[in-house]
């Protein structure tokens, strides 16, 4: 871009005229600029219109989870504009997912919101029974090992 055209464009952006162009309060035809610059400004105006239309619309996101085997607890937490300083952080939705290989859900995300999904695997019943059957390790065996270790260290001290 020619430095003179760049300076004109920078002055336009720094002036109130740029805001009027973006809000369609002023016409692009009244400006005396190069055709290429007018085309770029027109492109910027259309992109601004698109951004303004998307700013308050929720986004739909497809969530696909595969290879889920077993039982899971599904907890969904949401922080959005309705949540203030005194907002309690508790699950918005809780459900059980049982034996599904793939899980599909469509999330509607509001602008400036956060969605946290936690999947906790439920322990199998057989694992809980096995934990109860485990016996504690006797303390005597640990003491014997320490006594043998001290005997070995004493023998080494004598030999040297």
CA–CA separation, 102 vs 26, rounded Å? 54
- Identify the three-state secondary structure at position 106: strand
Which pTM value belongs to this model?
A: 0.51
The helices-and-strands tally (H runs, E runs) of the chain is 5, 5
Reported in sequence order, the residue ranges of 10-158 that DSSP labels E, i.e. its strands, are: 59-66, 71-79, 93-98, 102-109, 114-121
Domain boundaries, the chain: 3-54, 59-125
What mean pLDDT value characterizes the chain?
Answer: 76
CA–CA separation, 116 vs 89, rounded Å? 11
Residues 7-44: pLDDT tens digits?
877 888 888 888 888 888 888 887 777 788 888 888 98
Q: Is residue 22 classed exposed, middle or buried when 0-12, 13-18 and 19+ CB atoms within 10 A define those classes?
A: middle
Residues 55-106: pLDDT tens digits?
888 889 998 888 777 888 889 988 888 777 777 878 888 888 887 778 888 9
| Cα 149 to chain centroid, rounded | 52
Quick count: other Cβ atoms within 10 Å of Cβ 72? 20
């Amino acid at each position: 871009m020619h430095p003179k055209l760049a300076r004109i464009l920078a002055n336009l952006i720094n002036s109130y005229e740029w805001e009027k162009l973006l809000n369609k309060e002023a016409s692009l035809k009244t400006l005396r600029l190069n055709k290429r610059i007018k085309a770029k400004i027109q492109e910027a105006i259309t992109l601004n219109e698109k951004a303004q239309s998307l700013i308050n619309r929720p986004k739909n996101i497809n969530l696909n989870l595969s290879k889920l085997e077993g039982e899971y607890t599904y907890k969904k937490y949401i922080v959005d504009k309705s949540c203030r300083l005194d907002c309690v952080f508790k699950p918005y939705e809780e459900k059980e997912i049982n034996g599904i290989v793939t899980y599909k859900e469509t999330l509607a995300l509001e602008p400036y919101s956060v969605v946290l999904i936690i999947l906790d695997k439920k322990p199998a019943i057989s694992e809980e029974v096995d934990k109860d059957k485990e016996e504690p390790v006797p303390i005597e065996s640990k003491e014997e090992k320490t006594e043998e270790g001290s005997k070995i260290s004493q023998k080494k001290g004598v030999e040297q």
